[in-house]
Amino acid sequence: MKKLSIPLGVMLLTCTASQLVAMHAYAGDMKLHGGDAQSPKKASVHITFKKKNVSRPKEDETLIVTGTRDPHQTVRKSASPIQVVTSAEISRTGQSDLRDALTQLTPSLTRAPLLIGNANMVDVLRLRGLSPNHTLILVDGKRRHSTSVLSNNSGPQQGSNGVDIDMIPISAIDHVEILQDGAAALYGSDAVAGVINIILKHRKSGITMQSTNGGRYAGDGFQSGESINAGFDLMGHGFFDLSAEYKYQDHTIRNSPDSRTGKYDFKDEGDPRQHRGTLSYNMQYDFLPDLSLYSFSTYGHRYGESYQDARVASTDWPMYPNGFSPKESVTEDDYSVTLGLKGEKFGWNWDLSTTYGSDHTSMDLFNTVNPSLYAATGASPSRFHEMAFTNTQWTNDFGIHRSFHTPLFAGPINLAMGAQYRYDEFDIMAGDANSYYGTGPQGLHGLSPQNASESNRDVTAGYVELSARPLKNWQVDFAGRYEYYTDAGDTTTGKVSTRYDFNKYFALRGTISNGFSAPSLLQEHWSNLSVAPTYATGYLPVNSAGARLIGAKPLHPEHTMSYSAGFTLDPLPRLHITVDAYQIAIKNRILAAGVYNGANAIEALRLNGFSVPSTLESNAVTASYYANAANTRTRGLDVTARYQTRLQNWGKIDWDVALNLNETDLTHVGKDGNGNSLLNSQQAAYITSYTPKNKLIFGGTWQYKKLGVSAHEVRYGHATSSLTYYEGPLAYSNTDFMRYVNKARFETNLALSYQVLPQLGLTLGGNNVGNAKQRRIPKEFRYLGAFQYDYQIEQLGYNGGYYYLQANLNF
């Protein structure tokens, strides 16, 4: 094999050509060996490192670490569909939230335009139309803890508590790997729809600063995002990468007039106001060529305020002669730290790590009143501490892997095995006494000591993986995992993936796997009561007395079976196409279910310490819980294509197209302990029709010298709502709903950038420059006339266009 020597200076590595691709962003940080990484004598390429940034390689050479522990796996040679989103692509979206950036770049990812209630500031994602709990989030390959807040408002995300990814600074991210395939056998519970692995920067030098400021076409919703990232060399033995970020977001208001007053009293159909600050570091120190210490950590603090439904003037609150709008505030602290050692011994690569993560959320309500307290004492405070939650996760991992050569196979056999221990804890803390006295304050009933709880569990697991190439063009991957939960029992999961390259132009690939998703501690223990002007909605812990009254049964794990099959096609130079079909069947899916209204609901709430205002009609009071409600089957298709047009003296254009087709059906609906169906037609629609049947993203980026132009179109397919009646004989019906089709919508995103100086770049951009919005719902289905959009539908939002100016400084 031909040798080449590249003068990069600090450290000498020996490796095969196939391993050179690993250098990209991590040049200077990786220790690679020749041949199969086990036989240094076979090495024929010698590289020394120099302190300078190494540009990212072509996509077909980009090594991936998600969905495989084979150190040689690349994007285009993967047996499973995987998308890599670079930090440059994230920056070009103009978004200071990672969640919003990824939904603009990946059609299989969706999000709700608004989450009313406790979760309205939690930024989670849904992959392939499944729950946020079905997508596992990793940071540099380590499991990330989830939020402490359950999404309890109705809609597709109801009953989920995914990872709040915006507590990780965007400035700290090198790239994101999105595995669109079931991977429970590799990573354990939650990896049902796929895995999002956030890879942090590994910089040794340089400072990057970014400022993004913009607002909505309507003149509100001002946003400001400021960030800085700096890299430091640890005396030639490693790196220390540091990031800091701050974001401010102001309210948007999209309500129509209040039918009671004819005025714009409501302000809660829109974005909340929030301040968010995040910090992170990533470091590695090489004690020896085969022994390294590494650590990374993030910390995020958020304070936000959101409006609740408007109250008109009443003798129950004379201190507000003109009525009032309660405001909910959220104070959140989120942190995670990982510490690990890795190295090589006796030809085995090993990695030992521990990760501790926690999310604490405190909720207050202000600009409101407790009518029960006022009636009893003649006074009421205007601010209440309602409740607090803490969710923690402590994960310990040990893994080893090695490559073996055998004359029977065309390539090395890669063997990986390991063990994991995890401790989960979820605590619910009561509010102040005034928050749960009587019917509680207007807007949100506080939690009493009766609702408080402390819960925990232990999770142990062991896994083994094997990848091999029996023939030159045939790759086979196997994975098996055993997992035991002290509260949910044990399970064994497996995965088989294969790929065959017929030639350099065409390859087939496919996967069969089963999965397991244990109930989260939040799903088991959550309780809540939201009080609107004319209705109340409560959620009860599944094992509580109130939930048992309305038919609740203990929660069990979900079990899944996934299939995927597809092909890759490279018909022309610089043109790459992937097509992958999938099916995900989930048995005993956990959903908000068992909805009761009327006297049974009121009594169930009372048994759990909640009182509802006597002014509410009984049929407008509902109570429910989280149950293994149904079996579902999700089928879909992912298509991607990338092509580069070279314009000689006029630069180049990178074209990209991505399409997701997705549909979920109910194959079985269970019954509660009273013999009633666990899902009504509206709850069934949340699962089957609230996510667009298709989403298409297409466009390109033209780069000419210092000028860059990016244009992308996003088409959201139709989605169908199931609307609640608020007027007439069917008002607040629990069985009759209005089917309403939200037609397909287009969103156009444009960005114009110019490199003013070698260190300074400016971008002027617009997301949704046509100011498109989702379709307004009929007036008779608008709550008190004020909610003109179905904010639960996960299609195009209702905020309209967003325009921004971005500045980037690099030193």
Q: Terminal CA-to-CA distance of the chain, rounded, Å?
A: 39
| 28 pLDDT above the threshold of 60 | no
- Tokens, residue 135: 């997508």
The mean pLDDT of 266-276, rounded to a whole number, is 93
Mark whether 332 and 226 lie in a shared domain: yes
Least confident of 116-130, 173-187, 345-359: 116-130
Distance CA 357, CA 353 (A): 13
Q: What confidence score (pLDDT) does residue 40 get?
A: 36
Dihedral over Cα of 767, 781, 632, 566: its sign: negative
**CA atoms lying within 13 Å on the CB side of residue 226:** 4
The answer to whether 48 touches 9, Cβ cutoff 8 Å, is yes
**Could you report the per-residue pLDDT of 182-196, keeping only the tens digit for each?**
999 999 888 999 999
Mark whether 528 and 661 lie in a shared domain: yes
Return all residues near 474 (Cβ < 8 A) that are at least 6 apart. Answer: 410, 498, 499, 500, 501
| 37 pLDDT above the threshold of 70 | no
* pLDDT bracket for residue 2 (50, 70, 90): very low
The answer to whether 795 touches 692, Cβ cutoff 8 Å, is yes
Least confident of 56-60, 89-93, 665-669: 56-60
Residue 259: burial class (beta carbons within 10 Å; 0-12, 13-18, 19+): middle
Residue 743: burial class (beta carbons within 10 Å; 0-12, 13-18, 19+): exposed
Dihedral over Cα of 712, 718, 719, 721: its sign: positive
Q: What confidence score (pLDDT) does residue 31 get?
A: 36
With a pLDDT cut of 90, the percent of the chain lying above it is: 79
**Could you report the per-residue pLDDT of 489-515, keeping only the tens digit for each?**
999 999 999 999 999 999 999 999 999
The mean pLDDT of 268-275, rounded to a whole number, is 92
Q: What confidence score (pLDDT) does residue 118 get?
A: 65
Mark whether 371 and 517 lie in a shared domain: yes
Residues linked to residue 134 through DSSP beta bridges, in sequence order: none
Query: What phi and psi values does residue 98 have, to the nearest 5 degrees?
Result: -60, -40
The answer to whether 629 touches 687, Cβ cutoff 8 Å, is no
- Report the mean per-residue pLDDT for the chain: 89
Residue 684, H or E segment? helix 681-688
The answer to whether 721 touches 792, Cβ cutoff 8 Å, is yes
The answer to whether 569 touches 577, Cβ cutoff 8 Å, is yes
SS in 3 state form for 338-397?
EEEEEEEECCEEEEEEEEEEEEEEEEEEECCCCHHHHHHHCCCCCEEEEEEEEEEEEEEE
**Amino acid letter, residue 62:** T
* pLDDT bracket for residue 74 (50, 70, 90): confident
Distance CA 237, CA 286 (A): 5
| 429 pLDDT above the threshold of 90 | yes
Distance CA 785, CA 763 (A): 40
Distance CA 710, CA 748 (A): 11
The mean pLDDT of 2-29, rounded to a whole number, is 33
DSSP for 692-751, please give it: -SEEEEEEEEEEETTEEEEEEEEEEPPEEEEEPP-SSTTTT-SS--EEEEE--EEEEEEE
Mark whether 605 and 629 lie in a shared domain: yes
Distance CA 539, CA 436 (A): 16
* pLDDT bracket for residue 55 (50, 70, 90): very low
Q: What confidence score (pLDDT) does residue 66 get?
A: 80
Dihedral over Cα of 633, 634, 637, 638: its sign: negative
**CA atoms lying within 13 Å on the CB side of residue 105:** 25
**CA atoms lying within 13 Å on the CB side of residue 767:** 23
Q: What confidence score (pLDDT) does residue 458 get?
A: 97
**Amino acid letter, residue 510:** G
* pLDDT bracket for residue 435 (50, 70, 90): very high
Q: What confidence score (pLDDT) does residue 58 get?
A: 46
* pLDDT bracket for residue 69 (50, 70, 90): confident
Q: What confidence score (pLDDT) does residue 85 get?
A: 92
Domain span holding position 7: 1-55
**Could you report the per-residue pLDDT of 588-636, keeping only the tens digit for each?**
999 988 889 999 999 999 999 999 998 999 999 999 999 999 999 999 9
Q: What confidence score (pLDDT) does residue 124 get?
A: 85
Q: What confidence score (pLDDT) does residue 791 get?
A: 87
This prediction has a pTM of 0.89
Q: What confidence score (pLDDT) does residue 11 get?
A: 31
Residue bearing the bigger pLDDT, 126 or 51:
126
**CA atoms lying within 13 Å on the CB side of residue 666:** 21
Mark whether 119 and 140 lie in a shared domain: yes
Which of 54, 32, 29 lies closest to 45 in space, CA to CA?
Answer: 32
Which of 156, 277, 299 lies closest to 719 in space, CA to CA?
Answer: 156
Q: What confidence score (pLDDT) does residue 112 get?
A: 77
The answer to whether 249 touches 274, Cβ cutoff 8 Å, is yes
The mean pLDDT of 634-641, rounded to a whole number, is 96
**Could you report the per-residue pLDDT of 302-346, keeping only the tens digit for each?**
999 999 999 999 999 999 999 999 999 999 999 999 999 999 999
DSSP for 490-535, please give it: EEEEEEEEEEEESSSSEEEEEEEEEEEEPPPHHHHH--EEEE-SS-
Mark whether 51 and 61 lie in a shared domain: no
Mark whether 24 and 65 lie in a shared domain: no
Mark whether 175 and 47 lie in a shared domain: no
Residue 415, H or E segment? strand 413-430
- Tokens, residue 193: 């729809």
Mark whether 4 and 38 lie in a shared domain: yes
Mark whether 194 and 51 lie in a shared domain: no
Mark whether 648 and 562 lie in a shared domain: yes
Contacts of 596-602 with CB under 8 Å at 24 or more apart are 596/550, 596/551, 596/622, 596/623, 596/624, 596/734, 597/621, 597/622, 597/623, 597/732, 597/734, 600/549, 600/550, 601/538, 601/550
**Could you report the per-residue pLDDT of 374-413, keeping only the tens digit for each?**
999 999 999 999 999 999 999 999 999 999 988 889 888 9
| 693 pLDDT above the threshold of 80 | yes
Q: What confidence score (pLDDT) does residue 411 get?
A: 87
Last residue of a domain, one of 21, 37, 55: 55
**Could you report the per-residue pLDDT of 215-226, keeping only the tens digit for each?**
999 999 999 999
Mark whether 98 and 45 lie in a shared domain: no
Q: What confidence score (pLDDT) does residue 465 get?
A: 95
CATH code (residue 379): 2.40.170.20
Domains: count for the chain? 2
Residues linked to residue 397 through DSSP beta bridges, in sequence order: 353, 420
- Between strands 5-6 and 45-48, the pairing is parallel
| 126 pLDDT above the threshold of 60 | yes
Last residue of a domain, one of 55, 86, 101: 55
Q: What confidence score (pLDDT) does residue 32 get?
A: 34
